[in-house]
Amino acid sequence: MTLLQAIRTAFAAGAALMLASLPAHATSRIKDLANVEGVRQNQLIGYGLVVGLNGTGDSLNNTPFTKQSLQAMLERLGVNIRGAALRTGNVAAVMVTANLPPFGTQGTRIDVTVSALGDAKSLQGGTLLVTPLLGADGNVYAVAQGSLAIGGFQADGEAAKITRGVPTVGRIANGAIIEREIDFALNRLPQLRLALRNADFTTAKRIAAAINDFIGKPAAEPLDPSTVQLTVPEQYRGNVVAFLTEIEQLQVEPDLAAKIVIDERSGIIVMGRDVRVSTVAVAQGNLTVTISETPQVSQPGPFSGGQTQVVPRTRIGVQEDGKKLAVVNEGVSLQQLIDGLNALGIGPRDLIAILQAIKAAGAIQADLEVM
């Protein structure tokens, strides 16, 4: 069976079912295609101490920052230990990270992630002490404290050790309280901008057209492939939330560029629906080299004075399995090409090499991205 025959056979078997099951137009909500500029999360970070560990904390001799932090904390609490020898293994220095949600108000709680900074073996059973969480501007936006939940564990003995998951990273659900709000007067804005998650000229134009059709007048304008500017209509002035609620439910058919993404490390191939292949001839062959070792024992004759020796015997075989050169006609989609190659028993590794060769020949009308 030639490559083209295999392609036609595989495509004919599934084309009718695919066309019957797939919708004519796959639409998505504007809510799923774009974000409102300014409505975003902000990352927070802090440095703190976890106490209550069962001897799995930092070695104070190897982690001076943990020792200094412990001394400073105790002095703030009225305990003077300057010059004293600290040998506790129940304390660990950690970095605390969190995401401040958009329009987060004072007093609401957010989740935090706690990660060991020193040589602690596990944070299991630990409690995070009060830790201020700072934003990129250096201001404190939240304060974290609480008991850690660990997804992994570690157990060791004299001659064996077992570790499951990552015991040096924990999480505290609702472990931080927001102390500062970020001012953003959304309802008073006269204009808004939508930021597309996947930049595309056609998608931006379709989003603007859908909004204008809904409003009844030109209120949306695409500025570039990733931005659509909105002018808030008069009836929604002072109530931008209602305006966004209406337009984010509008259905738009997104358009994406033809693209092939290849991960050579894992053999994964992801392709877009609009990828096409021009007329090209393809041949693929596998070169197999087999090396087998069968050492033999050489036994000297009686009274010969010789010694018994092991004589190496190496057998090398070379086999090349190749397919005939096949022509793929113009207009064949990449899906049909891969179906035909799969029918010939070609694996993902060979598929990657073939796709790269076809792209090098200029016969694939798509971007090829190798991860």
Residues 135 and 193 in one domain: no
Distance CA 173, CA 151 (A): 13
Residues 287 and 162 in one domain: no
What six digits make up the tokens of 336?
A: 């049909």
Residue 250 confidence class, pLDDT cut points 50, 70, 90: very high
- Interhelix angle 348-360/334-343, rounded to 10 degrees, is 140
User: 127, 143, 178 — which closes off a domain?
Assistant: 178
Report whether pLDDT(72) > 70.
yes
Mean pLDDT of 76-86: 81
What per-residue confidence (pLDDT) applies to 170? 93
Residue 20 confidence class, pLDDT cut points 50, 70, 90: very low
Helices and strands (DSSP H and E) totals, the chain: 7, 26
Residues 196 and 168 in one domain: no
Mean pLDDT of 45-73: 91
Whether residue 304 lies inside any domain: the answer is no
Residues 360 and 283 in one domain: yes
Whether residue 163 lies inside any domain: the answer is yes
Residues 48 and 164 in one domain: yes
Question: Within 13 Å, how many C-alpha atoms sit on residue 87's CB side?
Answer: 1
What per-residue confidence (pLDDT) applies to 130? 95
120 in Cβ contact with 167 (< 8 Å): no
Helix (H) or strand (E) holding 100: strand 91-100
Report whether pLDDT(325) > 70.
no
* Overall number of domains in the chain: 3
Residues 235 and 272 in one domain: no
| Span of 106-115, 173-182, 222-231, 260-269 with lowest mean pLDDT | 260-269
Backbone angles phi and psi of 228, in degrees to 5: -125, 125
Residue pLDDT, tens place only, 115-138 = 999 999 999 999 999 999 999 999
Residue 358 confidence class, pLDDT cut points 50, 70, 90: confident
Whether residue 123 lies inside any domain: the answer is yes
Whether residue 127 lies inside any domain: the answer is yes
Residue 23 confidence class, pLDDT cut points 50, 70, 90: very low
Q: Give the largest Cα separation in the chain, rounded.
A: 115
230 in Cβ contact with 209 (< 8 Å): no
Report whether pLDDT(318) > 70.
no
Residues 270 and 230 in one domain: no
Whether residue 138 lies inside any domain: the answer is yes
What six digits make up the tokens of 182?
A: 């970020």
Report whether pLDDT(164) > 50.
yes
Q: Is 200 exposed, middle or buried (0-12, 13-18, 19+ CB in 10 A)?
A: middle
Residues 228 and 282 in one domain: no
Residue 267 confidence class, pLDDT cut points 50, 70, 90: confident
Residues 66 and 126 in one domain: yes
Q: Return the amino acid letter for 97.
A: T
What per-residue confidence (pLDDT) applies to 133? 97
Report whether pLDDT(198) > 50.
yes
Distance CA 261, CA 267 (A): 11
| C-alpha distances in Å from residue 341, one per residue of 10, 268, 279, 347, 360 | 10, 15, 16, 8, 18
More confident residue, 19 or 347: 347
User: 142, 159, 178 — which closes off a domain?
Assistant: 178
User: What is the overall mean pLDDT for the chain?
Assistant: 81
237 in Cβ contact with 190 (< 8 Å): yes
What per-residue confidence (pLDDT) applies to 18? 40
For residue 46, give its domain range.
42-178
Whether residue 345 lies inside any domain: the answer is yes
Whether residue 305 lies inside any domain: the answer is no
What per-residue confidence (pLDDT) applies to 80? 83
364 in Cβ contact with 358 (< 8 Å): yes
Residues 195 and 174 in one domain: no
Q: Which span out of 8-17, 31-40, 91-100, 357-366 was modeled with the highest average pLDDT?
A: 91-100
Q: What b/e string do you get for 81-94 counting C-beta neighbours within 10 Å, with b at 16 or more? A: eeeeeeeeebbbbb
Residues 361 and 235 in one domain: no
Phi-psi region of 305 (alpha: psi -120 to 50; beta: other; left: phi over 0): left
Alpha helices, DSSP H, located in 22-103:
30-33, 64-76
User: 178, 209, 228 — which closes off a domain?
Assistant: 178
Distance CA 114, CA 117 (A): 9
Q: What b/e string do you get for 143-153 counting C-beta neighbours within 10 Å, with b at 16 or more? A: ebbbebebeee
Residues 315 and 337 in one domain: yes
